[in-house]
Structure 1
Amino acid sequence: MDTTLVQPNTASRPQNRLKRVAVGSAILLMLLLGLLRYVGVFGGNIRTVEEGRVYRSANIYGKLLDDTLQSKGIRTVLNLRGGVVNGVGDAKYLSEAQSCKQLGVKMIDLPFSAVRYPPPKVLENILKAFDTEAYPILFHCRGGSDRSGLTGTLYLHLYKNIPLDEAQSAQLTWHYGHLSWGQAHAMDDFLNLYRKTANGMELRKWITAKYPALYDALPDNLKVK
């Protein structure tokens, strides 16, 4: 009787482990790409805030911007991203400005940070633009998720009389790429500051009457210097 022990093939174990890691990584990558596609990263994150009047997007440019401006009849673009340093615009900014000029669209720069509380004056100017500029309006930041989400929240709440919680849920949402627990939580923090300090005051009045002093009292790392 042959009593020779059969030794397990341990050489194949590292290979099997690598295969499992590779398959798992591929699945995670596919899920991530699917999520990014769902939130609109690959299509400019172009969203409707109010049909026929107000739209939001990422910082699109070139043919995609031209097609969007023309198909939606945009007359005013609010640039929340910025893109100008020391008086010189970057490539995306210059391309956007050229498209707007060629198509007769007014472009207004209203930049603020996604990771700090928005300056009171910028908020006042955004609301002034909604009050006075020609519609339809398209506003955008870099990815179309955070600053655009806050601006969309303000529009729905102040101009469409949608309750603040509902407006925030519709605009500052992971569906559009915003994560309230992520780096850009300052957008949510701003709205929470309003809730804590308003004492019944309407949001627009609070922005002009109470928020400037609250903003000045914030630590330097929470506001634009």
Structure 2
Amino acid sequence: MHQLGWLGVEYDFPDTSNALDEPNGLLAVGGDLSPERLLRGYSKGIFPWYSDEQPILWWSPSPRMILEPNKLHVGRSARKLLNKQLFSITTDTVFARVIEHCASIERPEQDGTWITDEMRQAYLDLHKLGYAHSIEAWQGDRLVGGLYGLAMGKAFFGESMFSLVSGASKVAFIHLVHTLQKWDYKLVDCQIHTEYLASLGAQEVPREEFESLLKIAVSEPSEHTWQLTSTTNIA
């Protein structure tokens, strides 16, 4: 029988097999968003997702949406977009602005934002520690799109993206994954299914398969600095 876990001061989480069968796999409630707890959670495939009026909720979905970097799909329209060179891409130059845009942009499929002030500060703290990164798309000196997430070992955990100009976040994402290919990253955690991510090559896998891949990925050291490389000539 599945039983929801209540977190205390310890950083341990319940076994993910205890996640509820309802959509997205609610596993535990409570605790805090300290760097230690967040890193422990992500290393086990557990992430926080909640709104202002809720306690901290921790999730372990099954199936899990992942993208293996070498399976990135760049379709004809995306290649045309890349070839137009409409955007310049940077990394970690305006992390706070990226997360602010992700929190404030209106999304037709959801009411409000899950990026609470507490969440925002938690990821700013992880950015200062070198775990959280932003990829930014610019037109001139205007920030027009981007995304942020966490890197541990050779796994990248995508959190959120935004576009103020059509295609901006897609170009930023393709730049990211193309570089992760070169760095021999094993997976990008996309959390839950969207048609947008599926169109880029992401697939759903059972929780057990995801956790097996994740255990290997986070255990492998990555010594690369976070400077993305060019996406020219992507097949």
Q: TM-score higher than 0.5 here?
A: no
- Length-normalised TM-score, structure 1: 0.24
User: Which one has the largest radius of gyration?
Assistant: 1
Q: Which has the higher helix share?
A: 1
> TM-score scaled to structure 2, two decimals?
0.23
Higher fraction of strand: 2
